[in-house]
Structure 1
Amino acid sequence: MESIRILLNVAVGRRINPVLPVGWRGDNVVWARWTAPPVDSMMNATSWLDSSIGSKQVTELLEFGLNYLSKPDHQNALKYAASYYVSANADVDVEPAIGLAVSGLQLLAHQRLVNEKKKYTSSNAFESAARNTEGEIREFLDDCQIDTSIPSHLTELQAAAAAMPVSHGLARDALGAVIYLRNKMVHPTKTLDRWNAYAWAEASMVACHFLRLGILNMLGYTGQHKSALSLNRWAGAVDPVPWV
């Protein structure tokens, strides 16, 4: 039931739960849960599901996701990643949403590259090689084949990124801009830059998009998704996930 809860949360981008589930063996009830699990009220939360194929997408997510989450350490990591995602996607303002999404991405980076792929012998070794949070997340997103450029229509984020200091001699892409804004919020200095509210909003969209796709990649999902960064919001406007 916990794995189903995690996957449904990932699917809709808010808290959702099976209510009053009952388990049967033949004609006999063998278990039941009569507690009231947390469920969000109906809200307009961003989701990667498309109304024209949503049932197919959820079916595929459950097929791939239940297999991945059958390992306790996988389930434990994704439980926290999904919590970061839901909070960033549906609970808070755009500024703290960036920090939550970045924390979720860091968790996934360590789970994938240290615990699963064993590319690094320890989290300390990974952190030393990556040098900073941006390096850790960038390596994870590269592993997932997730594009980190700034979409041309996110003009406020483009302008903000152009005004930021370069990162390792390079102009900041979407991830670089997200990390810079996150650092300014999580590690505030005496004077804070007056970034445009729309730049914060676009950075939050990008950060949640990265975390959303990162979770789907971890779960092994290979179907279609509706990108939150796409200009085409009509029903049926879907794309394959970038790693297929």
Structure 2
Amino acid sequence: MENIYVADIQFFRDNNKNIILKSLSLSKLSEEGFIEHYIFKPPYLFEELTYTRRIEANHVSRNFHQIHWDDGFIEYKEHINILTSTLKNASEVLVKGNEKVKYLNNLLGKKICYNVENLSCPNLKNLKSMQATFSLSPVSYQNTSVLKVWLKNLFFNSAEYIERSIQKHNDVGFFALTEKDCYFLPVSVIIKNFSVDCLKSILYKLPPHTVFNHYIQNYIMDSNKICNEDWNENDSGCCI
């Protein structure tokens, strides 16, 4: 959990319906309270948007994130540098929503973001109703804050989820596992039960903290080195 981050973004859309990042909040899951928050200046004048997009932007500002197009204190071009420098050592970034996950993965250049909806995360409105939040705080800040609390509670029970995923894997096999089961399936179990070729074929089902785990990466790069010193186990070489 040490290098797992939680993040949220708020945005507008350009004339081609692409995301224009406006607000970014992120925090290490293991850190109490501290959340980094950024509001970016617009990449160009509001008048350069089409009439339809201007109407949409005003609607989003008024009803969703309460940030105006011209707001911001950081140059827009800095958003990639901020993301890559802050998250350079992250093993995983937990985000709510597929569109946000895809957008951030594209900016970061690797699939390190994971959708917490796969972990049965409630919608943000419900989370906020169950937790005390600062109503005047930026929306992305609020979202990151409530997601952190919910995720910490989830990981507090991680031993139970790990045991359940192992048992289910042993009973019915890997391909019957839910996304949540896959999230908590230990690396040692994966290395023990999958040949390298089989492992490569199921990477799409595994979360970033597993895919980029150094034991998994070493196993893929050199199938003769299966981390016996650490796991004291041999690869069965079978594909489940």
Is the pair's TM-score, using the shorter chain for normalization, greater than 0.5?
Answer: no
Higher strand share: 2
Select the structure with the greater relative contact order (CA < 8 A; seq sep ≥ 6).
Answer: 1
| TM-score between both structures, scaled by the size of structure 2 | 0.29
| TM-score between both structures, scaled by the size of structure 1 | 0.29
